[in-house]
Chains A and B, each alone.
Chain A
């Protein structure tokens, strides 16, 4: 990991079109401003990680359970009509 020190209002440029600016430092909290092309998603890491993990879980589905659930819903639909 590259570690750089910045003061408020100083920036870092990543590649050609991503810029991160230290907007404010207050106690333990650092406010960062991000300028990036519109299509580049920017997210807090812990949220990104939770979605990443859940995506991996979604790719490893228990097929037997899926079949069971599908049958359950079809049966319920059938009996509700």
Chain B
């Protein structure tokens, strides 16, 4: 039995944070509603919790935290299912896997979570013909990105 202790858990706001996944997510097709929950102790990681079963919770992250040039291309059927014409109408998240070896933390870039910002309809899409990894290691990229944002501290790097 696992006990989850959450500190300073804060929902963004019930209406804003509730997402509808008509097909659930892969392997969890009967979980059709999720809530995105911010937890300060986990930033920049964010929770995506199942409404049906609160003990089912994924960790997600905005891929821009580690990869500025992430360009998922959605198929016609994904766009139809999400009712969008282009990606600008969507929020994009990657599912994160935090294993026992913390430096092996990875994000799934091949199957991102895409959410229509207006309707809050979401879907886990599998990118076709794009060579992204299901287990993209993110620790180094995230640390480097933080360093790169401040040019002067970068020039002082050993």
Contact = CB atoms under 8 A, between A and B. Distances in A.
Interface in B53-96: 56-59, 76-78, 80-81, 95-96
Contact of A62 (B80, B98, B134): B98
A62 B102 contact: yes
A5 interface: no
B33 to A, nearest CB: 16
Given A70-B45, A79-B153, A39 B77 contact: yes
A2 B81 CA distance: 29
Chain B's interface size range is: 35 or more
Chain A's interface size range is: 20 to 34
Contact of A58 (B96, B102, B110, B149): B96
Interface of A: 38-41, 43, 47-48, 50-59, 61-63, 65-70, 72-74, 76-77, 79-81
Closest 4 A/B residue pairs (Cβ): A65-B102, A52-B27, A38-B80, A39-B81
30 contacts: A39-B77, A39-B81, A41-B126, A47-B110, A51-B108, A51-B124, A51-B126, A54-B134, A55-B25, A55-B27, A55-B95, A56-B27, A57-B97, A57-B99, A58-B59, A58-B97, A59-B58, A61-B96, A61-B98, A62-B98, A63-B5, A65-B100, A66-B42, A66-B45, A67-B42, A68-B102, A69-B105, A70-B42, A70-B43, A76-B147
